[in-house]
Amino acid sequence: MSSPEAPLKGADRISAYLKTLPDAPGVYRMLNAAGDVLYVGKAKSLKKRVTSYATGRVHSERLTRMVAETAEMVFVTTASEIEALLLESNLIKRLKPRYNVSYRDDKSFPNILLREDHAYPQLLKHRGAKTVKGVYFGPFASAGAVNRTLNTLQRAFLLRSCSDSVFESRTRPCLLFQIKRCSAPCVNRIDLAGYHELVEETESFLNGKSQTVQEDIKAEMTKASEAMNFEAAAKLRDRLKAMSHIQSSQGVNPSTFDEADMFALHSEGGHTCIQVFFFRAGQNWGNRPYFPRHANDIPLGEVLESFVGQFYDERIAPKLILTSEELPDRALLADALALRAEHKVEISTPQRGEKREIMERALANAREQLGRRLAENSAQTQLLEGVADVFGLEQPPRRIEVYDNSHIQGAHALGAFIVAGPEGFEKAQYRKFNIKAAELTPGDDYAMMREVLSRRFARMVKEEAEDTPELRWRRPDLVLIDGGPGQLSIACQVFADLGVEDVALVGISKGPDRDAGREHFYMPGKEPFRLDPKSPVLYYLQRLRDEAHRFVIGGHRKKRSAAIGANPLDEVAGVGANRKRALLQHFGSAKAVSAASLTDLSSVEGVSATLAKKIFDFFHPGG
């Protein structure tokens, strides 16, 4: 009996499809014997493209290997080459085939939203579907870019950022009013007409009419100054200063175009960085680096073209796209993006003038970013990428803060946090907090956590509002709380009260019997979950928590030791080192001093009747 023939692979298997393929546009997928997608491609003619594979007309080792591994192909015909291009980008992004250019996609880009569904519009960051009624400005490259712009916009235009529930429940101005970042409409510090003037100025500024807005405010400032209303003039001056800061902090602001996305590619050592810059309303709204995965023999123009196609798979392209490399199918890609965006899209590679100068700066950014990435410790990078995957972060965290508290039955209470990042533990950034709240119930862990987080993040908010050149209280990307849903709820309340956003919050609680490896993780709006006990990310998170525990316990022990060595006589006014020594030598201990009578205290050498009365009253306050 003859053995069954082995299934066809490679060029022979590809040839079998030629008889039934149409001479029409479409998309094809090449799969290996295990059913994994090796490659996704588009073609103006499926028959001609597949024929080139079947006859071995490939020009690189990569394609030769790909053809040899192919055990099956799947085809989809489309009405046009444009539709084929759009479908190809979607499939590559979703399937991430080994032989295509692919990259880790992020969440949707954040926008600034000026709400229109409330009498006093709220200015806030928005991400996701644009379902809330209002005016959207964006996209911004990152949450950090939005936060920086929002902080300065609040200083410039004093619009509220609080939620409707907080707005309705206020009875007195909040911290943001005190630090001149809100006009406090919640408690009628500004009337409705005045507030809507601020809203109109904000909208004009974000629409690119910044010069007009600034000139109007300058005129108001001059008028107030001439009327000797120097307080109003000073407030207008501060607003102008904040507007100028927005424009200067955005770096390069173009004059030859208002709206564009810029893609700058730099490649070396088999690695590639693509910096994407966003320009809207004539202003630079930030940039973000990407590191696509691709074979070394793919021309850089093809790498960038594939990346751009995937980048706009679920995003609307602007009217102008600038690229550092010439794209092979530039016209086709522009038509495809225009079809989706419902407006004309131009793709160009600037050769001279202002556009080329800005592109050169973007290329320098890409080169520097790739250098930093290659220099980072690969193991640490993988761990941080794992943390980002576990907690759904848009990118690996650069700064992680871990919080813990320590006390013994409420005594010597201390809170602390440690900091970790790409370079490991950043011990110079560690901080301790002596618990100060007088009304705090001894041993109330929730109240301790509230105080620590409130003090730490209020300082951060204040620094960001004042535009301090060197921030001591930098914004973290991820905050880990040693505790369960109760502690996490407290942290969420503190963040809401201070208007802190885009800082991921996670609670970590030990599992049953406090076994390491059975920790539960809590995140706002999500069900608790656990990680694989053998997960390297879990070990890393345990190390972070243990480091925070070590640091806060060490601080608590020092505080307790200092308290044990302290003497109550140190707190009595007028009792210096010599008199303290004389009292202890005479009575033997501080406890005996506290029990001594006025006459006995006066008999000690160097202690006058007046000082004796002070000492007696200190130990007998009701006497």
Q: Which CATH number fits domain 568-619: 2.60.200.20, 3.30.450.20, 1.10.150.20, 1.10.3210.10?
A: 1.10.150.20
> pLDDT band at residue 389, thresholds of 50, 70 and 90?
very high
- The CATH class, in words, for 10-95 is alpha beta
- Kindly tell me if the per-residue pLDDT of 561 is higher than 80: no
Q: So what's the pLDDT on residue 407?
A: 66
> pLDDT band at residue 309, thresholds of 50, 70 and 90?
very high
- State whether residue 158 is helix, strand or coil: coil
Q: How far is CA 125 from CA 69, 109, 151, 210, 223, in A?
A: 47, 10, 11, 20, 34
Q: So what's the pLDDT on residue 366?
A: 92
> pLDDT band at residue 247, thresholds of 50, 70 and 90?
low
Q: So what's the pLDDT on residue 158?
A: 86
Mean pLDDT, the chain, whole residue set: 84
φ, ψ at 127 (rounded to 5°): -135, 140
Q: What is the pLDDT of residues 155-198, one digit of tens each?
A: 778 888 888 888 888 888 888 888 888 889 999 898 999 898 88
Q: What is the pLDDT of residues 532-543, one digit of tens each?
A: 888 889 988 998
Q: What is the pLDDT of residues 333-344, one digit of tens each?
A: 999 999 988 899
Q: So what's the pLDDT on residue 565?
A: 54
Q: So what's the pLDDT on residue 406?
A: 81
CB atoms within 10 A of CB 254: 17
Q: So what's the pLDDT on residue 264?
A: 95
Q: So what's the pLDDT on residue 12?
A: 86
- Mean pLDDT is lowest, of 20-29, 70-79, 508-517, for 508-517
**Cβ–Cβ under 8 Å, residues 483 and 445:** yes
Of residues 546 and 8, which shows the higher confidence score? 546
Q: What is the mean pLDDT of residues 7-36?
A: 88
Of residues 472 and 32, which shows the higher confidence score? 32
Q: So what's the pLDDT on residue 246?
A: 57
Q: So what's the pLDDT on residue 478?
A: 96
pLDDT above 70 as % of the chain: 88
Q: So what's the pLDDT on residue 249?
A: 47
Q: What is the pLDDT of residues 596-614, one digit of tens each?
A: 888 888 888 888 888 888 8
d(CA 320, CA 443): 60
- Kindly tell me if the per-residue pLDDT of 2 is higher than 50: no
> pLDDT band at residue 320, thresholds of 50, 70 and 90?
very high
Report, at the CATH architecture level, how domain 388-564 is classified. 2-Layer Sandwich (3.30)
Domain residue extents for the chain: 10-95, 111-249, 260-269+288-375, 388-564, 568-619
- The residues near 111 (Cβ < 8 Å, ≥ 6 apart) are 125, 126, 127, 130, 136, 137, 138, 139, 140, 146
> pLDDT band at residue 505, thresholds of 50, 70 and 90?
very high
**Cβ–Cβ under 8 Å, residues 198 and 248:** no
| Tokens 């501080």, located at residue | 590
- Mean pLDDT is lowest, of 414-418, 476-480, 552-556, for 552-556
d(CA 449, CA 435): 9
Q: In what order do the strands lie in the sheet with 111-115?
A: 123-126, 111-115, 134-137
Q: What is the pLDDT of residues 416-459, one digit of tens each?
A: 999 998 878 888 899 999 887 666 666 678 888 999 999 999 99
- Picking from 306, 513, 545, 303, the residue whose alpha carbon sits closest to that of residue 402 is 545
SS3 per residue for 397-432: CCCEEEEEEEEECCEEEEEEEEEEECCEECHHHCEE
Q: So what's the pLDDT on residue 234?
A: 76
**Both tokens assigned to 226:** 């001439």
**Cβ–Cβ under 8 Å, residues 337 and 345:** yes
- Kindly tell me if the per-residue pLDDT of 250 is higher than 60: no
Q: What is the mean pLDDT of residues 127-151?
A: 79
Q: How far is CA 356 from CA 56, 101, 173, 331, 353, in A?
A: 41, 26, 49, 20, 5
d(CA 364, CA 366): 5
- Kindly tell me if the per-residue pLDDT of 560 is higher than 50: yes
Q: So what's the pLDDT on residue 513?
A: 52
> pLDDT band at residue 1, thresholds of 50, 70 and 90?
very low
**Both tokens assigned to 621:** 């306050």
| Tokens 């879990």, located at residue | 538
- Kindly tell me if the per-residue pLDDT of 563 is higher than 60: no
Q: So what's the pLDDT on residue 463?
A: 85
Q: How far is CA 112 from CA 127, 140, 153, in A?
A: 9, 8, 10
Q: Are strands 411-421 and 431-434 parallel, antiparallel or unpaired?
A: antiparallel
- Mean pLDDT is lowest, of 32-36, 52-56, 202-206, for 202-206
Residue 52 burial (C-beta neighbours within 10 Å; 0-12, 13-18, 19+): middle
